[in-house]
């Protein structure tokens, strides 16, 4: 099972000063900053997924790349732009969620393929249009007519895309996009794509589905799946179900879940092989909107807030695992929380995190280099590094699943 990480310009600065929370004066973001595969001992993914809409923009507006970055991407090619190590694949797609509300995709198969070719992608997903709903009903009575229109449009675009690949003798491996609104329609899409000549198929629109619905669809697809056809799950992780997915023909997936949980989840911020821990929140005084408003209104002393912030960080940095040291951390964190005006207390969860001290047992380079800083929920540099750490944990889990499958035949 291969894991692809969707690009969203997620980098960290190797020269960031954690003590002062400052970047170097002459930092150039993409040139000087580093991707996960550059800061970890080994790339935590088999490939990256780059969406055309992220690079070139879409109907909703500009993408996440600056004009200079976009030009450099097209000039250098995706492998050099991302400084990818050998063996890490570049997979492209359209980023269909960026135009999900449009009646038709604002990009043609020809434009899609040109983007892939100009940027030197190894493989690229055909232009597709996301289906909004799903039903397990076999008669289709619950289906919205628009769902079927989008599915059939996606198939027509896929047929045009693979024809262009053949006409141009393109070096980009075509990946057919399969949309569906039921197990039967997903199976029909896969059958049609195989008949067109696709041997690599990406299943889209499954992110909102329950695991049992995904499995039901994969089981239905299994009845038409040809030997040698590889299935990719777009936007799906669900590690606990990966063995089941693999048994039903899935060979790869992409997801930002492990990365995003580092700073988007309320609880599962710091991943380990056994469980996830809450990251310890120490917001910056000048980065907390509620606190800034309170300071400007004269309700909180800026000096007291800065002192409390520094004392919380100091207590964490000298934490030695003892009961007294742990209590000092928790007390300083509580004091700062009150000054910040945060009503919700994480004291019990923080005690679990500090007691376990998972950063001390982690072998990844990020934890080795930065220790407890990675467990602190504070600004993009720590949060993204924690996300990279989470991906390294996911990579280890995936390798263990592969080993388990091999051992158990």
In this predicted model, what pLDDT tens digit does every residue of 354-392 receive, in sequence order?
A: 999 999 999 999 999 999 999 999 999 999 999 999 999
Residues of the chain with confidence (pLDDT) below 50 = 403
pLDDT at 240: 83
- The yes-or-no answer on residue 32 being catalytic is no
pLDDT at 137: 81
pLDDT at 267: 96
pLDDT at 138: 76
In the chain, where the domains are located: 46-255, 266-389
Question: Model pTM?
Answer: 0.93
The contacts of residue 353 (CB under 8 Å, 6+ apart) are 270, 277, 278, 279, 280, 375
The reply to whether CATH 3.40.50.300 applies to domain 46-255 is: no
User: If DSSP states are collapsed to H, E and C, what string results for the chain?
Assistant: CEEEEECCCCCECCCCECCCCECCCCCCHHHHCECHHHHCCCCCCCEEEEEHHHHHCECCECCCCCHHHHHHHHHHCHHHHCCCCCCCEEEEECCHHHHCCCCCCCCCHHHHHHHHHHHCCCEEECCCCCCCCCCCCCCCCCCCHHHHHHHHHHHHHHHHHHHHHHHHCCCCEEEEEECCCCHHHHHHHHHHHHHHCCCEEEECCCCCCCHHHHHHHHHHHHCCCCCCCEEEEECCCCHHHHHHHHHCCEEEEECCHHHHHHHHCCCCCEECCCCEECCEECCCHHHCHHHHHHHHCCCCCHHHHHHHHHHHHHHHHCCCCCHHHHHHHHHHHHHHHHHHCCCCCCHHHHHHHHHHCHHHCCCCHHHHHHHHHHHEECHHHHHHHHHHHHHHHHHHHHHHHHHHHHHCC
- The yes-or-no answer on residue 93 being catalytic is yes
pLDDT at 175: 98
Tokens matching residue 363? 């072998």
In this predicted model, what pLDDT tens digit does every residue of 119-148 receive, in sequence order?
A: 999 999 999 999 989 998 877 777 899 999
pLDDT at 400: 80
Catalytic residue among 10, 56, 93, 128: 93
Catalytic residue among 33, 128, 188, 254: 254
């Amino acid at each position: 099972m291969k894991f692809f990480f969707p690009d969203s310009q997620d980098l960290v600065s190797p020269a960031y000063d954690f003590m002062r929370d400052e970047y170097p004066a002459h930092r150039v973001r993409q040139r000087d900053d580093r991707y996960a595969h550059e800061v970890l001992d080994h790339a935590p993914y088999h490939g990256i997924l780059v969406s055309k809409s992220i690079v070139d923009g879409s109907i909703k507006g500009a993408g996440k790349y600056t004009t200079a970055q976009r030009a450099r991407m097209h000039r250098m090619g995706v492998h050099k732009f991302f400084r990818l190590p050998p063996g890490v694949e570049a997979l492209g797609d359209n980023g269909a969620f960026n135009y999900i509300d449009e009646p038709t995709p604002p990009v043609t198969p020809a434009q899609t393929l040109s983007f892939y070719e100009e940027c030197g992608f190894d493989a690229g997903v055909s232009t597709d249009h996301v289906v909004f709903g799903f039903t397990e009903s076999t008669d289709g009575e619950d289906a919205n007519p628009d769902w079927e229109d989008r599915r059939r449009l996606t198939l027509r675009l896929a047929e045009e895309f693979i024809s262009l690949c053949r006409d141009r003798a393109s070096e980009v491996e075509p990946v057919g996009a399969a949309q569906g609104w039921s197990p039967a329609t997903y199976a029909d899409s896969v059958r049609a794509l195989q008949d067109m000549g696709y041997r690599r198929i990406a299943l889209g629109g499954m992110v909102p589905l329950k695991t049992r619905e995904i499995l039901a669809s994969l089981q239905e697809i299994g009845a038409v799946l040809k030997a040698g056809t590889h299935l990719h799950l777009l936007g799906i992780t669900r590690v606990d179900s990966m063995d089941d997915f693999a048994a039903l023909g899935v060979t790869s997936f992409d997801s930002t879940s492990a990365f995003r949980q580092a700073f988007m989840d309320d609880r599962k911020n710091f991943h380990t092989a056994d469980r996830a821990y809450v990251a310890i929140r120490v917001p910056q005084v000048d980065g907390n909107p509620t606190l800034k408003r309170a300071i400007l209104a004269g309700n909180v002393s800026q000096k007291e807030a800065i002192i409390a912030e520094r004392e919380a960080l100091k207590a964490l940095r000298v934490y030695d695992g003892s009961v007294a040291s742990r209590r000092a951390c928790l007390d300083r964190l509580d004091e700062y929380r009150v000054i910040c005006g945060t009503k919700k207390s994480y004291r019990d969860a923080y005690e679990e995190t500090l007691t376990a001290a998972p950063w001390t047992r982690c072998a990844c380079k990020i934890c080795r280099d930065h220790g407890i800083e990675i467990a602190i929920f504070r600004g993009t540099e720590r949060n993204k590094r924690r996300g990279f750490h989470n991906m390294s944990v996911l990579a280890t889990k995936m390798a263990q699943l592969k080993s388990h499958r091999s051992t158990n035949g």
